[in-house]
Amino acid sequence: MTGNTKPGKTKHGAAAGETARPERADWTIDQGWDSYTAEEHGVWKTLYERQAKLLPGRTCQEFVSGMADLAFPTDRIPDFRRLSDVLMQRTGWQVVAVPGLVPDEVFFDHLANRRFPAGHFIRKPEELDYLEEPDVFHDVFGHVPLLLQPAFADYMQAYGEGGLRAQKLGVLPNLARVYWYTVEFGLIRAPEGMRIYGAGIASSFTETRFSLDSPSPNRIRFDLARVMRTQYRIDDFQETYFVIDSFDELLRLSEVDFGPVYEAVKGQPDHDPGDVLESDEVLTRGTGEYHAAKRQAA
């Protein structure tokens, strides 16, 4: 998922979110790599070059080395089979193609089986900075590099397993916030300083800078129960980023039983995306100026 979601049309003309009924029960399709047009490969090239220049020094070392090990082509959309060869050997993951967003239980089942479902289509050249649905640039460039990290790879599988369980318990919104504030929009306090690891940030030219450089957002130490209670923004930059200290912190999360935490947050009021609490370990207290200006203009 991405920070900039707007209703719109996919390249096949279906409205976002109403993809036609799939042929296969797991919603996978062939990537159809041979069918990409020169213009579509060109969009990857533009996005790739922009991000590859911006990310060093901003994203964590693990992300940079994941990119290098995957040897993404710079000038065309990657072939998922090549990516899966590398992933399978290193962490037992695969990339499979899907038409776009898939139902929650389908998504979880893929992750629980170490398959990452990636949108096969790419955004249009005139829409480089907005996304209605996760496309191949967000899903592959943003998500796949960290799947080469064993701790992160296990965390993603655990999320898939936990998702199926959270659905049964009726607490999926709480778990989805954990995914959002880690996998999609997480920051990490690396030895060299504050760095990006979330795919929604790493695949976004504008949010890469906002998340690290802007005085506007809060940056708060990650806390599981706190994050489970915190609403998020899907249509704009985040008002708050939650910061982990290491990928081992995520690995430990994948080992704890969320059951008691769900119990503890049940019936408690939600926090707004920009709230700062007495109990927070605040790393940067944001000015909130970016979202305040937007609200004023609205």
Q: Which residues are catalytic?
A: 138, 143, 184, 203
Our measurement of the distance from residue 191's CA atom to the centroid of its chain's CA atoms, rounded to an integer in Å, reads 23
When asked if residue 146 is in the footprint of ligand HBI (CB under 6 A), the reply is: no
Distance CA 96, CA 83 (A): 10
CB of 138 to Fe ion, least distance (A): 6
**Which stretch, 94-102, 203-211, 221-229, 258-266, contacts ligand HBI (CB under 6 A)?**
94-102
Residues 199-228 that bind Fe ion (CB under 5 A): 199
When asked if residue 134 is in the footprint of ligand HBI (CB under 6 A), the reply is: yes
- Residue 101 interacts with, from Fe ion, ligand HBI, none (CB under 5-8 Å by kind): ligand HBI
When asked if residue 101 is in the footprint of ligand HBI (CB under 6 A), the reply is: yes
When asked if residue 153 is in the footprint of Fe ion (CB under 5 A), the reply is: no
Structure tokens at 217: 């957002």
Distance CA 13, CA 297 (A): 32
When asked if residue 47 is in the footprint of ligand HBI (CB under 6 A), the reply is: no
When asked if residue 171 is in the footprint of ligand HBI (CB under 6 A), the reply is: no
When asked if residue 1 is in the footprint of ligand HBI (CB under 6 A), the reply is: yes
Fill in the per-residue mask, 109 to 128: x = in contact with ligand HBI (CB under 6 A), - = not in contact: --------x-----------
Cα torsion 81, 83, 88, 89 to 10°: value is 120
Distance CA 255, CA 110 (A): 19
Q: Which of 121, 179, 242, 247 binds ligand HBI (CB under 6 A)?
A: 179
Structure tokens at 20: 């036609």
Distance CA 208, CA 141 (A): 13
User: Which helix (H) or strand (E) segment is 284 a member of?
Assistant: strand 282-284
Strand order across the beta sheet in which 193-196 lies: 193-196, 187-190, 240-244, 218-221, 282-284
* Residue in 146, 91, 101 with CA at minimum distance from that of residue 121: 101
When asked if residue 136 is in the footprint of ligand HBI (CB under 6 A), the reply is: no
- Residue 179 interacts with, from ligand HBI, Fe ion, none (CB under 5-8 Å by kind): ligand HBI
Residues 6+ apart with CB under 8 A from 9: 15, 16, 132
Q: Which of 43, 95, 98, 153 binds ligand HBI (CB under 6 A)?
A: 98
When asked if residue 1 is in the footprint of Fe ion (CB under 5 A), the reply is: yes
User: For residues 176 and 212, which CB has a smaller minimum distance to ligand HBI in the complex?
Assistant: 176
Q: What is the DSSP letter of 283?
A: E
Structure tokens at 68: 């290098």
Residues 46, 137: contact at Cβ < 8 Å?
no
Residues 172, 166: contact at Cβ < 8 Å?
yes
Of all residues in this chain, which one has the CB nearest to ligand HBI in the complex? Answer: 107
User: For residues 72 and 107, which CB has a smaller minimum distance to ligand HBI in the complex?
Assistant: 107
User: For residues 111 and 265, which CB has a smaller minimum distance to Fe ion in the complex?
Assistant: 111
Query: By rule CB under 5 A, what count of residues binds Fe ion?
Result: 2
**Which stretch, 57-65, 70-78, 191-199, 276-284, contacts Fe ion (CB under 5 A)?**
191-199
Distance CA 147, CA 156 (A): 8
Q: Which residues bind Fe ion (CB under 5 A)?
A: 1, 199
Q: Give residues in contact with ligand HBI (CB under 6 A).
A: 1, 98, 101-102, 104, 107, 117, 134, 176, 179
